[in-house]
Amino acid sequence: METLTIRGGRPLRGRLAVQGSKNAVLPILAATAAFPGRFALSNCPPIRDLAVTRALLEGLGLDTEEREGVLYVESGGPVGTAPDPALSGRLRSSVLLLGALLARRGEAEIPLPGGCVLGERPLDLHLRGLEALGVRVRCEGDRLLCLGRPAGGTVLLPYPSVGATENLILAALGAAGPVRILGAAKEPEIRDLAGFLRACGAELRGAGSSCVRVTPRPLHGAAYRILPDRMEAATWLCAAAATGGELCLTELRPAQLRPVLQVLRRAGCELRETENELRLRGRALRAPGPVVTGPYPAFPTDAQAPLMAALLRAAGSTVIEETVFSDRFRQVPGLRAFGADIELAGRLARIRGVDRLRGAEAAATDLRGAAALVIAALAAEGESRITEAWHLDRGYGRFAERLRSLGAEAEAEENQI
C-alpha cells in the first residue's frame, strides 16, 4: 500500500478479532532455524515482516508453506549460516537469526548496514551477551561474524532488551550446558517464545521474569498458536477513542494491555473486559496525566505514537516521556500537519488538546508512527492522504479493509510501477 486516503470524522464502530502478534511470530520463526523439525504455526498475521522472514528462512534452506491459515515450516535439511543481506537489512528482527544459527551451526554471519557497530548500540547487548557465552564476535567489513558453539553460564543484561533476551534464549538452545539470563526482558512475547520452545521439548524456566534459565536438550517440531497482538489491539483502541467510537475487540488478552487501558480510562473512555474480549466506548477525551513508556509491564513504546494521536483533541495537556527509544517521536511533524499542538523537548512531548483537526497530507516514517497518522486522519475533518503507507503493511494485516469494516472511509492505493 503506497497511499491511504481517509475521509475523517466518522466514529469507528464494530467488532474486530485481533491478529496474531508480530513481535511473537518473528522470534518464533527465527527459532525454527535453531533445530531440525516440522512446525505448524497458527494465528500468524498476514504482514510484510512475516513474508520477509519467510524469505530469509527459505534462503537459509528451510521450507515454508501456508495452507488454510496455518504456516508450515520444515527445517530438517541443511541450514546455511549467512542470511541474505538485502532481506536482513529490511528487518531488525533478522538479528535473532544470530542466536538461532549459533545454536544450530555454531556459526552465523549477518550484514552490518552502515558499518561496524560492534560494542556499541544497537546490538551491543546482544553481542556482549553472546560473548559472555564464549561466542567469538568479529566485524569484517560490513559483516558481523559470530563463531563458536555457546558454552553454558550466566549472562547479565544491563538493560532488559527484548531482542537481546530472545537472541540469548535461542543461542542457549544449542549451548554446552545450562544458561541463566539475568536482567531479562519480561514482555509477553518472550513468554510466547518460551511457550513455543517448551512445546518443542525445551527445558526453559522463568520467561516473563527477569531470570530465564535454559537447559539444553534435544528438541523437535511442534504445532503452536501465536499470541494475539497487544500492539494491534492498542492501535484499534486508540483509533476508536480518538473518534468517539464504540469497539469490541475479540481474541485478545486484556491483562497484557493493562497500562494502555489505564491511560485510556483516565482519558475518559469506558472500558469493559472479560478474559479475551474488550469493549471500549469513546467519550469526549480529557488529558490522562503523564505517560511514561518503559519495558514491560510499563506503558509500551509501541503504543506511544497511537496514544499521542488519540490525545490530540483531549481537553488539557499531556506530557509523554519516551524512555525506551531515543527517536520515537518521528510521527510529530506529520501530526502537526493536521493542526496538532505538540511541543518536543528531547525525550518529552507535550500535547495540548485542540478543538478540531483538519484533513492533511502526511508521510509515514515508521510502523507505529504511520498508525498515529491514520488515527489523526480518522479524527480530522475532511480528506487526508497518508503517503509511504507501506510502513503499515509491515505490522498490520489487511489494514484498509479492517478500517472499512469499522465504518471508516479509507481507500488504499497500491504502487503503480
Site for ligand UD1 in 202-231 (CB under 6 A): none
| Stretch of residues binding ligand UD1 (CB under 6 A), selected from 3-11, 108-116, 158-166, 355-363 | 158-166
The C-alpha cell 490525545 sits at: 311
Q: Closest distance between ligand UD1 and the C-beta of residue 128, in Å? A: 8
Nearer to ligand UD1, 23 or 43 (CB): 23
Gyration radius from the chain CA atoms: 21
Closer CB to ligand UD1, residue 3 or residue 256? 256
CB 26 within 8 A of CB 53: yes
Tell which one of 76, 113, 119, 122 touches ligand UD1 (CB under 6 A): 122
Find the helix packing angle between 230-242 and 22-31, rounded to 10°: 160
Residue 265 C-beta: closest distance to ligand UD1, Å: 22
Cell of 416: 503503480
Q: Catalytic one among 44, 116, 146, 200?
A: 116
- From CA 332, how far away is CA 342, in angstroms rounded? 7
Q: Does residue 92 bind ligand UD1 (CB under 6 A)?
A: yes
Q: How far is the CB of 41 from ligand UD1 (least distance, A)?
A: 16
Q: Is 116 a catalytic residue?
A: yes
> Is 385:5 a contact under the CB 8 Å cutoff?
yes
CA 213 to CA 219: how far, in whole Å? 16
In sequence order, what E strands does 113-216 have?
136-140, 143-147, 153-156, 179-182, 203-205, 211-215
47 sits near ligand UD1 (criterion: CB under 6 A): no
The three-class DSSP label of residue 61 is coil
Among 78, 121, 345, 355, binds ligand UD1 (CB under 6 A): 121
Give the one residue of 232, 302, 388, 393 binding ligand UD1; rule: CB under 6 A: 302
CA distances from 44 to 20, 64, 392 (A): 5, 13, 16
Report the SS3 class of residue 291. strand
Does 162 bind ligand UD1 (CB under 6 A)? Our answer is yes
The set of cell numbers assigned to 209 is 521474569
Q: By rule CB under 6 A, what string of x and - marks binding of each residue 49-88 to ligand UD1?
A: ----------------------------------------
Active-site residues, by number, are 116
Rule CB under 6 A: which residues touch ligand UD1? Answer: 23, 26, 92-93, 121-126, 159, 161-164, 185, 189, 301-302, 324-325
